[in-house]
Amino acid sequence: MANSKTMLITGATGFIGSCLIHKLVDTNVYDIHIIKRKQSNIWRIKNILDYVSIHDVDIIDYTKLRKVIKSVKPDLIFHTATYGGYPFQKDINKIIQTNIIGTINLVNVCAEVGFDAFINTGSSSEYGLKDKPIQETDLPEPISEYGVAKEAATLFCQAKAKKERLPIVTLRLFSPYGYYEEPTRLIPSVIKSCLLNKNPKVSSPHSVRDFIFVEDVVNAYIKAINFSSSSGEVFNIGYGQQHSVGYVVNKIIRLTGDKVKPEWGSIPKRSNEPTSWQADISKAKDILHWKPKYSIEHGLKKTIEWFEKNISLYTQRE
């Protein structure tokens, strides 16, 4: 792999980062380096560690991070490290440190060595509550500490890109689902219950999300590599259509044999649930030449098939 590009991935042990690594290892095109915290659980990437170079460093540790980046000299950076996206991640200081300080550190040290593309991971939480399909030009009005921190990171990436003419892109992800997703999330928890013939415990069937299959998300990252603008562009990455939680839960139950009944209301409903949560993805289609390949049904089928083969990854973690 002497002539291959050097790829660096942060957040390598998380949902999105691990799916990216699995895809990139399969392509055998890149010299892959991953950054992870020493205490991170490696269950998602345990079977591919021999194919990557591992660096145990926290991105909030500027000195150690700078030493790693100077050594690796990555051509391409996928920054997926994050904290605060799940309800159980409530440490406000950690939300600020990881998402804001960590991103600033990473962008600054990568800028010192130069790079071909830096793909930052944003979130639909940056927008807050909207009542129509969301465009990238809509005013960010986050209503959570996590949304505020992610928006601050996006703004820094934009400013750095414009000021120093750097090829930095932010992908604002809506509601990814699929392989290796966090066990407590809606789709993994419902699939697991169905496969074990247990009634899924769920909150409200009326909540809505723009669910996007992880293979489509990974494809968006790969497409973004070739976008070389230095204007710090932001792209919505969603399916472009919202579905209710009730629709998704009932679809999973049918796809797994219709053997269980959802226990609605057995989990508390989140506060500030939006009545609309849908991405306008026309910009990503026009500029990145990306669009989702998988319908919600096709994505759920592939996810269920994966879970049937890998259910032990989830049952062993209980």
In this predicted model, what pLDDT tens digit does every residue of 144-166 receive, in sequence order? 999 999 999 999 999 999 999 99
The residue count of the chain comes to: 318
Nearest Cα to Cα of residue 234 among 82, 122, 312, 146: 122
The confidence score (pLDDT) of residue 1 equals: 46
Q: Spell out the long-range contacts of 183-189 with Cβ–Cβ below 8 A and sequence spacing 24 or more.
A: 183/314, 183/317, 184/86, 184/88, 185/86, 186/245, 186/248, 186/249, 187/211, 187/248, 187/252, 187/300, 187/303, 188/307, 188/314
How many distinct helices (H) and strands (E) make up the chain?
Answer: 10, 13
The confidence score (pLDDT) of residue 316 equals: 75
**Contacts (Cβ under 8 Å, ≥6 apart) of 89:** 83, 95, 146
Least-confidence region, from 2-6, 19-23, 231-235, 289-293? 2-6
Spell out the domains of the chain, with CATH numbers in brackets: 6-176+212-237 (3.40.50.720), 177-210+241-277+294-315 (3.90.25.10)
What strand order describes the sheet that includes 117-123? Answer: 53-56, 31-36, 6-10, 76-79, 117-123, 168-173, 234-237
Report the alpha-carbon distance of residue 190 to residue 250 in Å, rounded: 10
* Sequence letter at residue 211: F
In this predicted model, what pLDDT tens digit does every residue of 78-112 receive, in sequence order? 999 999 998 889 999 999 999 999 999 999 999 99
In this predicted model, what pLDDT tens digit does every residue of 9-63 receive, in sequence order? 999 999 999 999 999 999 989 999 999 999 999 999 999 999 999 999 999 999 9
The label of the residue with tokens 């949902």 reads 15
For the chain, state the CA radius of gyration: 19
**Contacts (Cβ under 8 Å, ≥6 apart) of 253:** 190, 194, 200, 259, 260, 261, 262
The label of the residue with tokens 């809505």 reads 208
Q: How confident is the model at residue 271 (pLDDT cuts 50, 70, 90)?
A: confident
Number of Cβ atoms within 10 Å of the Cβ of 108: 16
Percentage helix, strand, coil for the chain under 3-state DSSP, each rounded to 5: 40, 15, 40
Distances (CA, A) of 310 to 25, 126, 154, 196, 304: 19, 33, 35, 13, 10
- Alpha-carbon dihedral 220, 191, 255, 264, rounded to 10 degrees: -110
Element (H, E) at 121: strand 117-123
The neighbouring-strand residues paired with 276 are: 130
Q: Is the pLDDT of residue 2 over 80?
A: no
**Helix, coil or strand: residue 256:** coil
The pTM of the full predicted model, rounded to 2 decimals, is 0.96
In this predicted model, what pLDDT tens digit does every residue of 215-255 receive, in sequence order? 999 999 999 999 878 889 999 999 999 999 999 999 999 99
Report the alpha-carbon distance of residue 269 to residue 318 in Å, rounded: 23
Express as a percent the part of the chain with pLDDT over 70: 98
Give me the mean pLDDT over the 287-308 stretch.
Answer: 98
In this predicted model, what pLDDT tens digit does every residue of 187-198 receive, in sequence order? 999 999 999 999
